[in-house]
């Protein structure tokens, strides 16, 4: 899924979030012929995909490149904060309280979605809260202008050019007016922060016929997240993984294996329980080798090796095959990708903020669980 903000980083294909490579910002080289020449070439491509001149004009008339998009890419908060501070800000007391309220408000809808897609409501509420603060975060960027700016700059070519074609396809299909195409600076749309291609693949109109509305209709938002996870191989009842203790002298070049292999290397669950008899897992040190370690369970149902199905801030579950490759993330947005990207650079952070504390990780993994129980879910202090 290609998705969020401006996703995730975040994180390709999208939950439908941004399929961005994990490297830092690329250099930008605008093509010859100027922006008008770029649009002329894009219109030819769009026509081959069945996009009418009227639709194209509706999207691009009067549109110019947005220099603020490039500036936004260079100052993402995921790159400017130590990992511990970044994650603690995501799972604040206010967000936990909002999650409790939203879970109660939409309990019947969440139950119906779980019955259809088999995805735990806690996970859905958690993703919703992280991606768009339960719909309260309103991205002001024009999706067509943002995508056109990035495509014109040939950033992550041909990703954003292809996303423009997908956005045009949505617009031409009707039901979503041009003025509603608002999202992140990187084109991730609505409360799910789906990129346009992810919208086309995963968005669901829940409770009737019609175009999915991931901007304003909460049942569509929650069902679309669930459909993404379902299509990506979500397996009900499986744990997301475990916090583990790593042996001294471990070879950090090793990142994946079966639970039996991890046990054979000297890894154990932090809670003292046994690993499952079968299954594979990928090793994550989200705040560097001095911080807590996690084995995130892989599923074998997905043949796409470069996707992470949900916000793997180690609170999700069911990683599809290859999720540890961390090469490209698609569906759920840059914030998702960036959480893992930040982990890779956090080793250079200094002082007490170098590591993500176990209490911080615990808050991230339980944000939505707390929303539906009477458990004490204080953010606490690190």
* Residue 2 belongs to some domain of the structure: no
* Residue 113 belongs to some domain of the structure: no
pLDDT digit string (tens) for 176-224? 999 999 999 999 999 999 999 999 999 999 987 789 999 999 999 999 9
* Residue 375 belongs to some domain of the structure: no
Q: Which residues of the chain have pLDDT under 70?
A: 1-32, 75-81, 83, 299-382
Q: What is the pLDDT of residue 30?
A: 55
Which residues, at least 6 apart from 284, have a Cβ–Cβ distance to it below 8 Å? 293, 294, 295, 296, 314, 324, 340, 343
* Residue 110 belongs to some domain of the structure: no
* Residue 82 belongs to some domain of the structure: no
Q: What is the pLDDT of residue 298?
A: 75
* Residue 334 belongs to some domain of the structure: no
Q: What is the pLDDT of residue 294?
A: 92
Q: Nearest CA to 371 among 141, 137, 104, 112?
A: 104
Query: Which H helix or E strand runs over 294?
Result: strand 293-298
Q: Which domain, by its residues, includes 174? A: 26-73+140-183
* Residue 275 belongs to some domain of the structure: no
Residues 247 and 187: their CA atoms lie apart, in Å, by 43
Q: Would you call 345 helix, strand, or coil by DSSP?
A: helix
* Residue 152 belongs to some domain of the structure: yes
Q: What is the pLDDT of residue 1?
A: 54
Q: What is the pLDDT of residue 251?
A: 86
Q: What is the pLDDT of residue 77?
A: 56
Q: Write down the pTM of the prediction.
A: 0.71
Number of domains in the chain: 1
**What is the arrangement of strands in the sheet containing 241-245, beginning at the earlier edge strand?**
256-258, 280-284, 293-298, 241-245, 268-269
């Amino acid at each position: 899924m290609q998705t969020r903000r401006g996703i995730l980083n975040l994180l390709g294909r999208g939950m439908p979030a941004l399929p961005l490579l994990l490297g830092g910002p690329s250099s930008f080289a605008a093509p010859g012929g100027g922006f008008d020449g770029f649009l002329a070439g894009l219109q030819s491509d769009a026509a081959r995909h069945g996009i009418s001149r009227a639709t194209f004009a509706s999207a691009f008339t009067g549109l110019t490149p947005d220099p603020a998009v490039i500036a936004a890419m260079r100052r993402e908060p995921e790159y400017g904060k130590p990992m511990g501070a970044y994650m603690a800000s995501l799972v604040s007391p206010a967000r936990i309280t909002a999650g409790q309220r939203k879970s109660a408000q939409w309990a019947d809808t969440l139950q119906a979605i779980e019955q259809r897609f088999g995805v735990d409501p806690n996970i859905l509420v958690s993703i919703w809260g992280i991606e768009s603060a339960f719909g309260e975060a309103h991205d002001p960027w024009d999706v067509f202008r943002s995508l056109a700016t990035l495509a014109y700059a040939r950033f992550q070519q041909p990703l954003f050019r292809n996303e423009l074609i997908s956005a045009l396809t949505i617009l031409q299909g009707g039901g979503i007016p041009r003025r509603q195409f608002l999202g992140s600076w990187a084109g991730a749309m609505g409360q799910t922060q789906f990129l346009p291609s992810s919208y086309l693949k995963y968005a669901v109109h829940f409770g009737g016929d019609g175009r999915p509305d991931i901007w304003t209709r909460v049942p569509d938002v929650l069902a679309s997240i669930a459909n993404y996870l379902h299509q990506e191989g979500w397996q009900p009842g499986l744990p997301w993984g475990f916090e583990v203790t790593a042996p001294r002298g471990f070879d950090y070049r090793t990142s994946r294996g079966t639970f039996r292999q991890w046990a054979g290397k000297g890894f154990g669950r932090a809670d003292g329980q046994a690993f499952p008899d079968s299954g594979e897992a990928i090793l994550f040190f989200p705040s560097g080798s001095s911080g807590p370690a996690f084995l995130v369970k892989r599923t074998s149902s997905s043949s796409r090796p470069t996707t992470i199905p949900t916000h793997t801030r180690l609170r999700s579950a069911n990683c599809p095959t290859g999720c540890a490759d961390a090469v490209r993330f698609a569906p759920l947005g840059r914030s998702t990708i960036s959480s893992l990207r930040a982990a890779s650079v956090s080793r250079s952070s200094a002082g007490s903020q170098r590591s993500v504390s176990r209490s911080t990780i615990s808050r991230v993994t339980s944000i939505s669980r707390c929303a539906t129980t009477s458990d004490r879910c204080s953010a606490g202090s690190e």
